[in-house]
């Protein structure tokens, strides 16, 4: 297991280097470049030349890249010029990251908590009403765009019926302590139950909208995996040995059916982070998705750098954890 982990960490390092190179080259190829973003379109040639020299943009690309890596390691990505002018880009990211993580974790929990059990029971009752209804529901979840579903949920439950909040992370009148930036967690840690509940209620609509695509993928893959596994010889052998139904279902069917599902859950992290851009805009959640959108609109290259690189790193780390979980479920992988 240790050797398997070391190999995966080596691959993680290579992926990180490639990501940094792509990000470095892509941002410098964007129209206008960092100089226009900092000085504006009406800047004089003299001021542009001074800033180019100050930023080291007149140096060879490999020198610029090495300085970029050095600054990235220390967390120095420059100062925001559009999202939160005058604020260090890393600080902007750290302020907004908890909102996106809180939303994404709840959306993934909803998708897993509903998708896996529903996929299993739909497979056990293949062709029944539960199976047909679940398949239809999952198709709708994939077909309906996240932003449209977000607007629909907001209109029905927040505007028409008024049972859930329409935007934000917490009600304005709530006097809560925000030590970590995770509003639900902060409320639980400080035993401010009203604040924790209020923050959770604000998360419900955006989390449901964001979870629809991961739910559909997890449900359909769980259903297909269970249908494949129940026909395997080792399942029939386990039953012929007189093992209890719970043992057969848990140890022989579900455990083996979960192998592709675990991988898919890791891959859905990227979908959640990309879907958060639209969801945060609809529900006015000040997360990194909203920061990314504003960064593109206002050409805030400092914020774009840290958000894109950090988001990619989160995605890579989650997939590393998925690989380790995969190896824990299937011991055969550790010997390869």
For the chain, give every residue range classified as CATH 1.10.3720.10: 87-327
What's the pLDDT at 31?
Answer: 64
Lookup result for tokens 């579903």: 149
Q: Which of 4-8, 147-151, 293-297 has the lowest mean pLDDT?
A: 4-8
3-state class (DSSP) for residue 57: coil
> How many CB atoms lie under 10 A from the CB of residue 320?
17
Encoded tokens for 95? 């302020």
Backbone region of residue 184 per phi and psi (left: phi > 0; alpha: psi in -120 to 50; beta: other values): alpha
Residues in the chain: 336
> How many CB atoms lie under 10 A from the CB of residue 205?
24
Q: How far is CA 291 from CA 13, 97, 204, 308, 310, in A?
A: 26, 10, 21, 10, 13
Taking domain 87-327, whether its CATH number is 1.10.3720.10 is answered by: yes
d(CA 297, CA 28): 16
Q: Which residues neighbour 200 within 8 Å (Cβ) at sequence distance 6 or greater?
A: 184
180-231 tens-digit pLDDT? 889 999 889 888 889 999 999 999 999 999 999 899 999 999 998 888 887 7
What H or E segment, with its residue span, contains residue 154? none
112-167 tens-digit pLDDT? 999 999 998 898 888 888 888 988 888 888 888 888 999 999 999 999 998 999 88
> Is the overall model pTM greater than 0.85, yes or no?
no
For residues 42-54, average pLDDT: 72
């Amino acid at each position: 297991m240790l050797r398997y982990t070391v190999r995966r960490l080596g691959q993680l390092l290579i992926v990180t280097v490639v990501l940094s190179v792509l990000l470095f080259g892509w941002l410098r190829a964007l129209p206008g470049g960092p100089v226009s973003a900092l000085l504006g379109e009406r800047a004089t040639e003299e001021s542009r030349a001074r800033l180019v020299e100050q930023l080291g943009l007149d140096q060879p690309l490999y020198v610029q890249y090495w300085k970029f890596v050095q600054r990235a390691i220390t967390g120095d990505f420059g100062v925001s010029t559009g999202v939160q002018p005058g604020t260090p880009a890393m600080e902007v990211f750290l302020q907004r990251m908890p909102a996106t993580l809180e939303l994404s974790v709840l959306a993934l929990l909803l998708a897993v908590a509903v998708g896996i059990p529903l996929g299993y029971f739909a497979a056990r009752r293949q062709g029944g009403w539960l199976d047909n209804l679940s398949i239809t529901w999952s198709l709708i979840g994939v077909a309906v765009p996240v932003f449209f579903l977000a607007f629909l949920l907001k209109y029905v439950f927040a505007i028409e019926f008024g049972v859930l909040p329409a935007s934000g992370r917490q009600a304005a009148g709530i006097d809560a302590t925000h030590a970590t930036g995770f509003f639900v967690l902060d409320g639980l840690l400080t035993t401010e139950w009203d604040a924790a509940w209020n923050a959770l209620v604000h998360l419900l609509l955006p989390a449901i909208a964001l979870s629809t695509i991961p739910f559909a993928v997890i449900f359909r893959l769980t259903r297909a995996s269970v249908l494949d596994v129940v026909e395997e010889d080792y399942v029939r052998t386990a039953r012929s040995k007189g093992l209890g139904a719970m043992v057969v279902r848990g140890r022989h069917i579900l455990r083996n059916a979960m192998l592709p599902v675990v991988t898919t859950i890791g891959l859905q992290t990227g979908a959640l982070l990309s879907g958060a851009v639209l969801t945060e805009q609809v529900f006015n959640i000040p997360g990194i998705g909203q920061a990314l959108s504003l960064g593109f609109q206002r050409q805030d290259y400092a914020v774009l750098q840290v958000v894109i690189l950090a988001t990619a790193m989160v995605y890579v780390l989650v997939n590393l954890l998925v690989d380790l979980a995969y190896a824990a479920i299937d011991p055969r992988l550790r010997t390869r």
